[in-house]
Amino acid sequence: MEQISKDSLKIVVFGALNAGKTTFVERLSGQELFLKGEYESITTSFDFVQIKQQDYLIHLFASPGHRRFSFMWETLATGMDGAILLLDSTVGVTPVDHELIDFIEQYGVPYIIAANKDDIFKMDPEFIRKELKLSDNILIGNTSALNDDNLDNLLDKLIDDINKRNNK
């Protein structure tokens, strides 16, 4: 896999511990991750893989869920073109999710929300929009990372948003 930088995008998946971030990037990429975060390791506390989508080489990162590694959010967010916030539908919207939205908002990049674990419990997107005070242009989708349900589609929509932003 060899490609020059101009065709690449950096996308970061954020979310609370256990929301399904690692599963999400694993299923989306359909291959073994290049780097897989281990709980005890600081530098590889994130997941990393590259995938091809819409003619882009996507550098896909998943942030560490554990609060202890939250300083890594900034490092991972540096230079990102877009973000995905994963919610755990079995838990609902939590304070960490509010914190993560505020964090992502600072970067001014397109982002989408994925209400994950849809196979167990379905969260109403409009409820999420209200809870997190999101504007209407932020896409909220229901996903099951476990069943690879709606992942590709959401990523496509995020890439479309990024394209729109960059062509302006």
Ligand X SMILES: Nc1nc2c(ncn2[C@@H]2O[C@H](COP(=O)(O)OP(=O)(O)O)[C@@H](O)[C@H]2O)c(=O)[nH]1
In this chain, which stretch among 15-23, 46-54, 126-134, 142-150 interacts with another protein, using CB under 8 A? 46-54
Token pair belonging to 92: 């609902």
For ligand X, which is the closer residue by CB, 8 or 120?
A: 120
Distance of alpha carbon 111 from alpha carbon 114, whole angstroms: 10
**Any idea what the Cα angle at residue 105 is, between residues 121 and 157, rounded to 5°?**
60
**How many angstroms separate the Cα of 126 from the Cα of each of 4, 92, 94, 130, 157?**
40, 13, 16, 6, 18
Residue type, 104: I
Q: Does 23 bind Mg ion (CB under 5 A)?
A: no
What tokens does 168 get? 């302006």
Size of the site for Mg ion (CB under 5 A): 2
Q: Which of residues 90-119 bind ligand X (CB under 6 A)?
A: 116-117, 119
**Looking at 17, 48, 91, 152, which residue binds another protein (CB under 8 A)?**
48
Residue type, 47: D
* Contacts to another protein from residues 3-42, by CB under 8 A: 3-6, 8, 10, 34-35, 42
E strand or H helix at 59, and its extent? strand 56-62
CB of 78 to another protein, least distance (A): 5
Q: Does 142 bind Mg ion (CB under 5 A)?
A: no
Answer yes or no: are the C-beta atoms of 21 and 69 closer than 8 Å.
no
Contacting residue, 29, 49, 65, 101, with ligand X by CB under 6 A: 65
The residue range among 67-75, 101-109, 144-152, 154-162 that interacts with ligand X, by the rule CB under 6 A, is 144-152
Per-residue exposure over 1-13, b if at least 16 CB sit within 10 Å of its own CB, e if not: eeeeeeeebbbbb
Q: Are 84 and 104 in contact (CB under 8 A)?
A: no
Closest distance of CB 100 from another protein, Å: 18
Contacting another protein within 149-168 (CB under 8 A): 165-166
Residues at the interface with another protein (CB under 8 A): 1-6, 8, 10, 34-35, 42-46, 48, 50, 57, 59, 61, 71-72, 74-76, 78-81, 165-166
